[in-house]
């Protein structure tokens, strides 16, 4: 396993952000030397060559690319590929590709990013962050540019923490066990009107204990985690445009259109209609050679 060892200087300047659905995926990285790109790629049979080394991506992969890095990707078959990607530029950027075995995981002077990693279990979490960044980038007001900077550091810190935890030797913690279990149940049953009592019963613990241990491990409550998954699906359904707002509310397990609208704006910072418009127009903002 290889990773990027990155040292950044200064505040990141947003360069581009896009959300694309495409076929015949063929991408050659042409970033500037001081740019760093973070992308989520969903699709089957996507292969890549990174610095001359071939690899096959998981069906849901988080990819980090440094400017000047020699990387090209393509789909083996003509299948749909979903791409959400953001890029920032730094006044100073030092990076190198190293083997994980050669990295000191306790060194906090650098960000440690995987060249690519399977994020199937944490897909909704990273998609929420990246799509929120894209929404602010598209609006491009002073406030939104500042939000992009803030969200970028949140994304980078999440990736760094996730990657380090994969290779650090540490004891078993109950909170980590229950966070994974609860997240799996939420992903499976978010549309069924989940509540903490039902989840606790399935896991064989009391609701109070589960609430406490989950919040300790995840940093948010089970209700907040459930609503984040619901809002991700609500955004996708809104983009498709086939359902009314009330129908979307029912699909994601809320049933109350007014509450959906309130929760949607709290999560994404825009109304459902404005978010749909942004998501449909977002490809106007990308500057990469996607080929169809």
Per-residue pLDDT tens over the stretch 222-240? 999 999 999 989 998 998 8
Residue 120 pLDDT more than 50? Answer: yes
Task: Give yes or no for residue 244 having a pLDDT over 90.
Answer: yes
**What is the pLDDT averaged over residues 184-199?**
89
pLDDT of residue 94: 86
DSSP string, 200-243: HHHHTS-HHHHHHHHHHHHSS-HHHHHHHHHHHHHHHHHHHT-S
Residue 213 CB partners (closer than 8 Å, separation 6+): 174, 175, 178
* Per-residue confidence (pLDDT) for residue 159, from 0 to 100: 93
Report in angstroms the alpha-carbon separations of 3 from 24, 37, 73: 27, 14, 17
Q: What is the mean pLDDT of residues 12-20?
A: 88
CA dihedral 32, 289, 2, 45 (to 10 degrees): 180
Identify which of 54-58, 248-252, 273-277 has the greatest average pLDDT.
248-252
Note the pLDDT of residue 218.
86
Contact 34, 89 (CB under 8 A): yes
Q: Give yes or no for residue 74 having a pLDDT over 90.
A: no
Given a cut of 70, is residue 253 above it in pLDDT?
yes
- pLDDT band at 73; cut points 50, 70, 90: low
Average pLDDT over residues 46-66: 78
Q: Which of 32-41, 170-179, 280-289 has the lowest mean pLDDT?
A: 280-289
Q: CA 246: distance to chain centroid? A: 27
Higher pLDDT, 121 or 197: 197
Q: Which of 48, 26, 130, 120 is nearest to 85 (CA)?
A: 130
Average pLDDT (183-202) is 89
pLDDT of residue 76: 66
Alpha-carbon distance of 36 to 69, in angstroms, equals: 10
Confidence of residue 217 (pLDDT cuts 50, 70, 90): confident
For residue 51, CA distances in Å to 1, 27, 55, 106, 257 come to 14, 14, 11, 26, 50
């Amino acid at each position: 396993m290889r990773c990027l060892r990155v040292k950044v200087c200064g505040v990141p300047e947003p360069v581009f952000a896009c959300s694309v659905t495409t076929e015949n995926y063929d991408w050659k990285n042409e970033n500037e030397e001081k740019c760093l790109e973070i992308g989520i790629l969903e699709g089957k049979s996507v292969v890549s060559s990174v610095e001359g080394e071939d690899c096959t991506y998981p069906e849901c992969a988080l990819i980090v690319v440094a400017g000047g890095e020699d990387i090209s990707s393509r789909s083996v078959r003509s299948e749909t590929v979903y791409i959400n990607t953001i890029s920032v530029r730094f006044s100073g950027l030092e990076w190198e590709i190293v083997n994980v075995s050669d990295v000191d995981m306790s060194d906090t002077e650098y960000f440690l990013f995987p060249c690519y990693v399977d994020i199937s279990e944490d897909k909704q979490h990273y998609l929420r962050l990246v799509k929120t960044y894209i929404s602010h980038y598209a609006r491009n007001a002073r406030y939104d540019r500042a939000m992009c900077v803030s969200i970028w550091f949140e994304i980078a810190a999440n990736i760094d923490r996730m990657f380090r935890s994969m290779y650090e030797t540490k004891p078993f913690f109950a909170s980590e066990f229950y966070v994974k279990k609860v997240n799996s149940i939420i992903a499976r049953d978010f549309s069924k009107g989940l509540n903490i009592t039902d989840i606790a019963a399935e896991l064989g613990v009391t609701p109070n204990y589960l609430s406490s241990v989950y919040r300790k491990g995840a940093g948010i409550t089970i209700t907040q985690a459930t609503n984040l998954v619901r809002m991700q699906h609500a955004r996708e359904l809104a983009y498709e445009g086939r359902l009314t707002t009330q129908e979307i509310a029912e699909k994601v397990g809320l049933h109350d259109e007014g509450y959906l609208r309130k929760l949607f704006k709290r999560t994404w910072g825009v109304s459902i209609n404005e978010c749909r418009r942004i998501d449909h127009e977002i490809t106007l903002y990308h500057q990469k050679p996607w080929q169809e």
